[in-house]
Amino acid sequence: MKAAPRNDACDDLNRLYGAPGRIVFRPSQHDAPIAVLANQYGSAEISLFGAQTISYRPTGNLPVLYMPHPYDAKRAGTEIHGGIPVCWPWFAGNGPEGAPMHGLARYGRWQVKSSEYSEDVSELTLGYASDASTRAIWPHDFELELKISISMKLTLSLRATNTGKDAFDVTEGFHPYFLVRERDRAEVLGVDGCTFTDTNEPEKLGRVWTGGYDVRVGGSKIYDVTKYEYVLMDHALDRAIAIVSRGNRRLVVWNPGEESAQDVASFGVEGWRKFVCVEPCSTPRDVAYTLAPGESHDLLIAIQSVPNDGSVHARHA
């Protein structure tokens, strides 16, 4: 295992944390290096800006994550739609008045804490902590640690620790954009029996979901989860993306639809058809968790893409 003080230059990052063919750092237009993890099972790219996973491709398979344009085409410091953003300490618009969407973590510069690899696993650990710039928006002290690993699956594990003297409430989530060939031929399994709220019909509370989620209607469905295994079926590509989570109280399934997608220029005219977001999270405020001084909380997501041989539907029937 390698660990050393913070460093920004790619040459130094490669010397301190790199491993040829397994862990490599390359520059980007964001003035924040991109880490590339690879092994026999696949590869992933993670930007140190926002600790955002920007690509994941299992060996011999199509990319799993949607990124509408090359990552470097976006201006540093802006909200980047695609990949897997990290949303903390609030999800969506649950932060202070005037604060950015989806928290502080996705707009911050993360530091490399350590790297590790073996025959079957390539892993990178990143860190982000409160400073004067974060306290100007949200007056609390914290430390985040994100472990990203490639094995037979992609795993992200986020640990949040309260390093201050006062307790605070947190809503959070991973916000993965999953690539599909055609939105109208995708569905989400694993939410049967869950109560849910539809953002298109917020007044209808307490309904129970009784079937796979048809994503053809834009907007979000917010599920109170009772189990933590889900599957995004991409019938047009004939593949299943298995998703396991821990530490979340809700699951959001979202696609903007044609009308709302016009508010996000990076999606283009038809880009909204190419992704579905399946987001393990704790949101809105009524399911926030409280971190007392010194306490930590873990949020995990593991993703595996497999061909659909017909057994996935059978297990979730």
DSSP-derived secondary structure for 264-311: -GGGTTTGGGGEEEEEEEE-SGGG-EEE-TT-EEEEEEEEEEEE--SH
Beta carbons of 85 and 146 less than 8 angstroms apart: no
Q: What is the pLDDT of residue 37?
A: 98
| Mean pLDDT, all residues of the chain | 89
The reported pLDDT for the residue numbered 6 is 41
Across the range 238-248, mean pLDDT stands at: 97
Quote the pLDDT of residue 231: 95
- Facing residues of 314 across strands? none
* Residue, of 130 and 306, whose pLDDT is higher: 130
Tell whether the model's pLDDT for residue 7 goes beyond 60: no
pLDDT (0 to 100) of residue 215: 63
Q: Which pLDDT score, from 0 to 100, does residue 3 have?
A: 46
Q: How far is CA 64 from the centre of its chain?
A: 12
- Tens digit of pLDDT for each residue in 174-217? 999 999 999 999 999 999 899 998 888 888 888 998 875 556 55
Max distance between CA atoms of the chain, in angstroms, equals 56
Q: Among residues of the chain, what percentage have pLDDT more than 90?
A: 69
Give the pLDDT of residue 85: 97
% of the chain surpassing 70 pLDDT: 89
Cα within 13 Å of Cα(197), Cβ side: 11
List the domains of the chain with CATH numbers. 2-315 (2.70.98.10)
- Which letter does DSSP use for residue 135 in this model? H
pLDDT of residue 70: 74
Q: Give me the pLDDT at residue 199, please.
A: 85
Of the pLDDT bands very low, low, confident and very high (cuts 50, 70, 90), residue 5 is very low
pLDDT of residue 312: 56
Question: What is the structure's pLDDT at 16?
Answer: 96
251-310 pLDDT, tens per residue?
999 998 887 777 776 787 788 999 999 999 998 778 899 999 999 999 999 999 998 766
Tokens (6 digits) for 11: 């040459």
On whether the CB atoms of residues 245 and 204 are closer than 8 A, the answer is no
Per-residue pLDDT tens for 41-81? 999 999 999 999 999 999 999 999 999 877 765 555 677 88
- What average pLDDT does the segment 100-124 reach? 95
Rounded Cα distance between 130 and 12, Å, is 24
Rounded CA-CA distance 103/91 in Å is: 6
Q: Looking at residues 228-256, what average pLDDT do you find? A: 95
Flag whether pLDDT at 315 surpasses 70: no
